[in-house]
Chain A
């Protein structure tokens, strides 16, 4: 039998991208400003989300999708704050994908949410390769991780709209070079917005809240 070559030239991730587009359309319809939070394990994803809830919950309606390999530890914390939350357990999966987020959206009251956080799985390698339907990608880096992380995981930093640098209260005890960190991050990503914060002391968080508030208002149409 003769062999025939069939040209295809189609993106493999297009199934995820199509699904992410559908998620985005749904979130746009409800004017839900959606943030994909990415970081290594322990950088402060849940802490930033909880601080933000405590500060902004009287000004806007917040919802959360929690992605973890296992457990509902984070979702339980958010739930205790009276915020609608859906836990996704990836059962070993290293990133969230648009399909998992669609499933989570089905369980959230989207018409009663202004700001949706999607907390991705703690991982600096691949979550950036999978769009979910978000408006903005926010990466959290923390000072104990070292100022060289953008050099080691450049694609994650290049693909983020905002970098929150957490645990600045620990800087006096560390050899973290803030100027070097900023230079690398802005080099990889000239349009990035950087917020140095401490979720422990609250330092710098007001700028982050102001940015989020403006973005939520912007999506609502002023």
Chain B
């Protein structure tokens, strides 16, 4: 559900950038989403198709790259991706960590004609 407002922001940003470039049409939108950004790419795609109607982004392909969560163990310094949903360090089993990646939510680029 909360992807609706996020998609509104995404579309506004894409249209702004296309406008600055005097583009006639947006053909593709490339989004980067971290695994724990709280944003589900498929939902963004659904809303994007709906919201972009009657704009120059209508029919554009929405592509998203998912960035896996990366954590750094505070005890042994290992950087790892959580396995099977567990945030514990695979080497020392500690849960003592810093989030290194996975929160990303940005518009990387747009492709225009």
A162 to B60, CA, bound (A): 43
Tell me if B107 and A10 are in contact (CB < 8 A).
yes
Other-chain residue from A11, A125, A154 in contact with B105 (beta carbon distance below 8 A): A11
> Within 8 Å CB of A5, what residues of B?
109-111
| Most chain B CB inside 10 Å of its own CB: which residue of A2, A93, A94, A129 | A129
Tell me if A4 and B107 are in contact (CB < 8 A).
no
A23 to B2, CA, bound (A): 21
Tell me if B2 and A12 are in contact (CB < 8 A).
no
Tell me if A3 and B111 are in contact (CB < 8 A).
yes
A163 to B23, CA, bound (A): 49
Other-chain residue from B37, B87, B99, B113 in contact with A4 (beta carbon distance below 8 A): B113
Q: Which of A73-81, A180-188, A197-205 contacts B (4 or more CB under 8 A)?
A: A180-188
Tell me if A151 and B86 are in contact (CB < 8 A).
yes
Please classify the interface of chain B as helix (H, G, I), strand (E, B), loop, or mixed, using the class held by over half of its residues. Answer: mixed
A50 to B31, CA, bound (A): 43
Other-chain residue from B9, B21, B74, B86 in contact with A15 (beta carbon distance below 8 A): B9
Tell me if B6 and A12 are in contact (CB < 8 A).
yes
Tell me if B6 and A13 are in contact (CB < 8 A).
yes
A158 near B: Cβ within 8 Å? yes
Binary A-proximity of B71-113 (CB < 8 A = 1, otherwise 0) = 0001000000000011100000011110100010111111111
What are 11 of the A-B contact pairs (CB < 8 Å)? A2-B113, A6-B17, A6-B23, A8-B107, A11-B105, A12-B107, A94-B2, A126-B2, A151-B87, A151-B95, A155-B38
Tell me the A residues contacting B by CB distance below 8 Å: 1-16, 92-95, 97, 125-126, 128-130, 151-152, 154-155, 158, 183-184, 186-188, 190
